[in-house]
Chain A
Amino acid sequence: MRVSITVNGEVREAEVWAGESLLTTLRDRLDLPGSKNACEQGECGSCSVLLDDELVCSCLVLAAQADGHEVATVEGLADDGSLHPVQDAFAATGAVQCGFCTPGFVVAAADLLRRVPDPSDDEIREALSGNLCRCTGYQKILDAVHLAVER
């Protein structure tokens, strides 16, 4: 079936399998592999995107459900080649190791800071508790979010 999705401000069309997730469509049909396929069961947040401005796991959205809707992915965060403050902070603090969780984290953290401009440690921890990281132990991610606030 055919879907038309506005991705990062651009209308994109794709032929998809009816049972396919938005994540798969983004990665395999629209050449946007930044959203990651770590668990495909909504447990890790690596595939986080904004769907109509709401943070969601794209693995749990049927591609057909995104038809006619707006999606923002990690690829759309940087503005004209300059990193989003959250991306820059992740790079600066050592919040990136293997980096597989990173796209999901930066999308979720940017969404948090949009809603809560200066979150406490606890707010950051709870807001990002749906994003799993296996490398960092989260501490430098916490530092990154605080640094992004400062900037």
Chain B
Amino acid sequence: MAEKSLMKGNEALAEAALRAGCKCFFGYPITPQTEIAAYLSKRMPKVGGVFLQAESEVAAINMVYGCAGSGIRCMTSSSSPGISLKSEGISYIAGADLPCVIIDVMRGGPGLGGIQPSQADYYQITKGVGHGDYHIIVLAPSTVQEMADCVTRAFDLADKYRMPAVVLADGLLGQMMEPVAFDDAEIVMSDASGKPWAANGHKNSRKHNIINSLYLQAPELEDKIRARYERYKQVEENETRAVADYCEDADIVVVAYGSTARLAKSAVDEARKQGIKAGVFRPVTLYPFPVKELNDAVKNAKKVLTVEMSMGQMIDDVKLAINCSRPVEFFGRTGGVIPAPSEILAKIKEMGGNE
């Protein structure tokens, strides 16, 4: 393992993508994720990869469709408004069973919104983004090192299940620097090996492959979707990840993801110092949502508090996951305002955490 250096979350993620063999990156500038494109524009030509700045987010995601369809690991990145533009392409990629990685470094919305950190696109991302019956894998890092680790895992999961995987970050994680380390392994660009479905020229040695999401016969489309949902079941059974801190004896379990989980952790650390039995539960996978892990974490809790940089979106999944077995309250800031640990602590106390 090489010496640690300080990197911005966006840059660490970009470097990790290269190291995962991501051969092609198709992007479009938008704050606060532009460092990903800038970094890869520098690095890609040095390692035999492709960096292409597309004419729009719409074009970028469709370039990903074409590249992924030919069996090559590829990625695009954007921030909230740009992800809305990509929604069409994401749906087609899911419908054609193609693996790819999409980065969303969230900012405040709706509309042009703002450029400060936000988690207001939880619904959009975890519910698939575009039209149709489908899921995409969503990983939510909370440190710069995890920005790197999540992108590696995203590529692996995308290939394993032939579906898009998203790394969902926010402006705070994208812009901050923390120590990160990469091993010294040589960078090897991916090829289409192990992907017999790829449309990359049949070399007169097999029947032609077709990458497609169109099925005009309703029963055929239903069968395709049902088969896909069988795979989703595997994803839900095998791929959930979460981190629970101090939940064993906690009266109040705070649930938060991404950078908000760090803020919640600071609040919970302070609460413990003050003798309040609080814990923090951080889903690392948002789809699949860590239902079993959350139920384990709250088994001794009286109440649950969800903290988000939004008006409350993940809270729905939290309530569903625990089947409303306990009161679930909410604290959030939105529009790019970052909740202060002291505010979260005050909410914990208000919920009776100081009894």
* A and B are interacting partners: no
